[in-house]
Amino acid sequence: MSITLCGKTIGPVGFGLMFYNDCSVDDAVKLMKTAVDNGANCWNGATFYGPPDKNSLVFINAYFKKYPEDADKIVINIKGGVRIPTFVPDNSEENTRETIENCLRQLDGTHKIDVFECARVDPDVSIEDEMKTLVALVKEGKIGAIALSEVNANTIRRAHAIHPIVSVEVEVSLWSTNIFSNGVAATCAELGIPILAYSPLGHGMLAGKYKSHLDLAGSFVSHMPRFHQDAFEKNFELVKAITGVAERKGCTPAQIALGWLRALSGKNGNPVIIPIPGSSNEKRIVENMVDIKLTDEEMEEIQAVLDSFEVTGARYGGKQEQFLEG
């Protein structure tokens, strides 16, 4: 199935540009090249992925200075609209415009912002006012198109009624399946809007990155409720079940998790779903792009696992939880 976004044909799996702070610019560029060479030409970045002097825009700038010939075949999706370091959303016109100008300054003409999205819904700014600002930025040529992130079905409808929404970014994975029951997937399918599935590997959990709670030491995910010790032990049962499917299939658990999303994409009333895994490991990137086709029987086996499993713990917890599905 051919997928088109912003007039460009994109691969069925995208690439997230959230590199760890110890990843150098040169190393990031190599990883980005590996991604695009393996078909991942929809890139998802953010102003807050890393410190201001080493965020997604810095890596994108460096990449296209080295590989300007790739510019026309890659779609750049950027999130912004949150205050650092509190991560509280601010989708006011002033902050949105300031964010866009900063992004354009960091890109320095190497690539345009194909798609921009506010990372969270601002409870103090209506979606209508947010869209008014973004539509003006499209007309001014500052951004190419508008997407949404962490929204509910009603917000999608309200925004799309004002101006076409080209994609909706939400968390979707084997342990975050709520879009299939809360109306988000159905609404996107009805309106013809693709979903960008962030954290499709459950922040590494579903890929088997963590074997025990001790492996989380120093990791940012250790603060998330699903990774707290009691929750980790319960949630690891899902990892073990998926690992069993992977062993019988002869592939990795990550490939099962991504293959499951690809099997759901555009079928049985679902919208197009584009997983956007990120990685700082070249081998993992290549593995993530392999098309593991799951049989109907394997999909049924996975569904049986999901039906019998209840995820323990909220996705983010604390103050950030209130800004989800806005």
Residues with catalytic roles? 49
List the end-to-end C-alpha distance of the chain, in Å, as a whole number: 31
What single-letter amino acid sits at 252?
A: T
The Cα–Cα gap between 72 and 64 comes to 10
* Residues with Cβ within 8 Å of residue 292, at least 6 apart in sequence: 249, 251, 255, 256, 258, 259, 262
Per the CB < 8 A criterion, the answer to whether 61 and 67 are in contact is: no
| Max CA pair span of the chain | 54
Helix, strand, coil % in the chain, rounded to nearest 5 = 50, 15, 40
* Residues with Cβ within 8 Å of residue 97, at least 6 apart in sequence: 133, 137
Angle between helices 25-37 and 56-66 (to 10 degrees): 70
